[in-house]
Amino acid sequence: MNIWQSLTLKVRTILILCSVFILSQMITLILFEHNRDNVVLSTEATDLADRIIGIVDLAYAFPPQDRQQILAAAETQFLALFPDVISTDEVACQQNHFSEQISTKLNLAFLKLQGIDAQVCVRRFENTPLLDRRTTLRPGFDVLIQIDFANNQKITFHSVLPESQSLLQDSVIFYILLEGIVALLLAWYLIQKTVEPIEELANAANRIGLDINNPPLDEGGAKEISMAAKAFNTMQERLANLLHSQSEMLAAISHDLRSAVTRLQLRADLLENNHEREGMLKVVTDMRQMIQSVLDFLRGQNPDEPMRVVNISALVESLVTDLAEEGRPVSYQYEGNSINLTCRPTEIRRCLQNIMDNAIKYADGAKLSINRENNEVQIVVEDQGMGIPENQLQSVLRPFYRLEQSRNHDTGGIGLGLSIAENIVKSHGGTLKLSNLADGGLRVNILLPLNG
């Protein structure tokens, strides 16, 4: 059942069609072969009866001494005079529809000829020792027909009626298989075309989480597919309008807050008391930092930067080089070819900047490495600090959560650095995980899909 659940709609439909096709073909083949055997045997019996009646009718018109020659001249491959006259009472005959049909046919015909009687005996090949000379024929029926003339002259006809060959041994099975293969290939093509819009809808649903401004879906095709595509495009348009409205509101709030903070700073500068002025400027600086952090956090949930292909290894190396030139204790490890990643490079740089700033601030250094794993790029940032308690590894990713519980922004920040980094990674369809190293320190593992 689990295997069936894991199969795609396309594969399920093909398996159902294959099962129904094979089952219907098998039933049709069995019924056809059974009915064909009956028809073939009935036709052969009728033909044999007509042939014997014609021969006997011809022989009956000649004198008794000439009948043997006439009958011998009428022999064919499947009808001959038996060398010895054997009564049908001496052999094990089968009483079936086939023998009754031949006997009835002969007796009705011989009623026109006075003094002639016919007895029919039908046996299977495997039950008769009389056919050693015909072992090359395929299985069938051994027929003995004894004709009694009025002058007590008896003649025994012997005929071999082979059974019809099984369709499994006939070339028709090849054509049935060929027809089935062509039908299944055609069904696969049509099903693929039918399911393709559903797959495109699923892909579009995945892409919308990465870029709300993706092109709308094609609304053509079947009625149900067209309705789903229209509903999806309407939903995407509403989400885009909502996020754009939020961006506009964010820009307005940003402008108003910064204006208010600037006026507050100007008023603080006018204070004559140095102690009060320094205290007020410190408060203004904290407010400016908090406002900027909150705006950065909100902006990270709705980035305006377009996606493009960049050399992620070069971007990371550039960031590490800039930090090293500023005297920061950072190192970088990567050996291999360049890795191209579809992303928002400014956002990725900002994400890594936040993580490395935390490592430098709380662990006095950061070590960054990058490598490629199948269709993903892995970026790892490690430090040699105290790490994070296991029960708080997930909590530190929440907005405004700080391990350092003081209100000093210089020692504890405001708790948005890792939240912003995780939002950026998720907006690229990736994952960010925190774990403690065995020897002490924190490990930040980022996985990003190469195709964005």
Q: What is the mean pLDDT of residues 436-446?
A: 88
Same domain, 14 and 159: yes
Which of residues 278, 303, 328 is at a domain's end? 303
Give yes or no for residue 245 having a pLDDT over 70.
yes
Same domain, 41 and 67: yes
Domains contained in the chain, number? 3
Helices (H) and strands (E) in the chain, counts: 11, 11
Same domain, 289 and 338: no
Range of the domain at 363: 305-449
Q: What is the pLDDT of residue 68?
A: 73
Query: Is residue 405 in some structural domain?
Result: yes
CATH number, domain with residue 376:
3.30.565.10
**Phi, psi at 309, each rounded to 5°:** -85, 130
**Phi, psi at 425, each rounded to 5°:** -65, -45
Same domain, 337 and 429: yes
Give yes or no for residue 27 having a pLDDT over 80.
yes
The rounded mean pLDDT for the chain is: 76
Question: E-assigned strands of 374-430?
Answer: 376-382
pTM, rounded to two decimals: 0.51
Q: What is the pLDDT of residue 447?
A: 92
pLDDT 10s digits, 280-302: 888 887 777 777 766 766 665 55
How far apart are alpha carbons 366 and 385 in whole angstroms?
10
**Phi, psi at 41, each rounded to 5°:** -65, -40
Same domain, 142 and 215: no
Alpha carbon 419 to its chain centroid, in Å, reads: 37
Give yes or no for residue 46 having a pLDDT over 50.
yes
Same domain, 283 and 357: no
Same domain, 357 and 309: yes
Alpha helices in 61-130 (DSSP H): 64-73, 97-110
Contacts of 143 (CB under 8 A, 6+ apart): 48, 102, 120, 121, 122, 123, 157, 158, 159, 160, 161
pLDDT band with cut points at 50, 70 and 90 for residue 414: low
Which of residues 169, 186, 219 is at a domain's end? 169
Query: Is residue 383 in some structural domain?
Result: yes
Same domain, 372 and 275: no
SS3 state at 150? coil
Same domain, 30 and 95: yes
pLDDT band with cut points at 50, 70 and 90 for residue 433: very high
Query: Is residue 23 in some structural domain?
Result: yes
Same domain, 209 and 322: no
Helix axes 274-300, 417-427, angle to 10 degrees: 20
Which position has the higher pLDDT, 50 or 420?
420
